[in-house]
Structure 1
Amino acid sequence: MELLPIRRALLSVTDKSGLPELARFLVDNGVELVSTGGTRKMLADAGLPVTPVSQVTGFPEILGGRVKTLHPCIHAGILADKDNPDHLATLEDKKIAPFDLICVNLYNFAQAVSQTMDLKSAVEQIDIGGPTLLRAGAKNFHSMTVLPDIADYPAFMQELSAHDMKVSLPFRRAMAVKTFSLISAYDRMIADYLGRDDL
């Protein structure tokens, strides 16, 4: 798909800088917002309509927030190839709405471990759902847009404005490349930390 219309977005961020402006822009252009925990609360407090992830999955957030988005109703909506009729038929059969945008940034693990923190507490700061969402969105860049960095919000909004609320394939591919780079660096940081002899 050369130009991808943006109709439904999943927003789940640690760094909420710039998110109200991005979310307002999306809502003003008819995009449905789905979100989790603190991000959902911030959007709702800003007066924006937002659907809780638990409403999409039919399952509450559990294990102290460790499991929120790890669900077929989320990941099928991210991983479906919109150019594949069989994928679209499966979504329709299972009553799963597709996503077009994943906007996620990760827990700040570097900041967490720079503080005085025991190993078990530090491990709690390892993001699982975020990298999973980002990887799924980046893999499926032919049918998805993934935004892993607040620095890209302005360019994304310019892209939508230039293409009548659609995102070009080159932009989506560039965001996929950036996403895999960021996740790779994140995993390397965790591996380096867990491999330390002083823990």
Structure 2
Amino acid sequence: MLTKEETVLVLIDIQGKLAQIVDESEIVIDSISKVVQGAQALQLPILWLEQYPKGLGPTVEEIAQHLTDIKPIEKITFSAYDTPEFVDQLEATGRKKVLLAGIETHICVYQTAAHLLTNGYEVEVLADCVTSRTAGNREVGVQKMLQLGAKLTSVEMALFEMQQIAKGDTFKTISGLVK
């Protein structure tokens, strides 16, 4: 099970025009915005990646507006794990459970998941927070991650799993986000 003490949220490349043209773009961006706010309420560390921002542009405003207290990690590799700054920040959290969100499912999200799994991390892919330019590529990416040992979850399922109790301010915040 996911616990707020052991989990880190990783956001991959939700940027520029690509984020606007992927399959179910609005739904995925809204879901990622919710999971970011929920992760903050649960006090999870968030690692935020951008693929070559000079070329692809910045993270979409709907998500970036909630990340004002952290800096994105710039990468040019498909797998975040091939970027030393990401590995250093991930190791510094001391956490071994990774919630993955981002685009594109079959490229950067998949390759990051594969490397995380190979390096001893537990990976849960937020099904409502990953997408690709086509639904078919999204599905192939999800299936390959599952074959490698990743698990599938959703924003609501993950947040309530880590919250564990149906009372208090954090519960109210999460309930408000997922309604």
Using the size of structure 1 for normalisation, the TM-score is 0.45
Which structure has more strand as a fraction of its residues?
A: 2
TM-score, scaled to structure 2: 0.49
Considering Cα pairs closer than 8 Å and 6+ residues apart, tell me whether 1 or 2 has the greater RCO.
Answer: 2
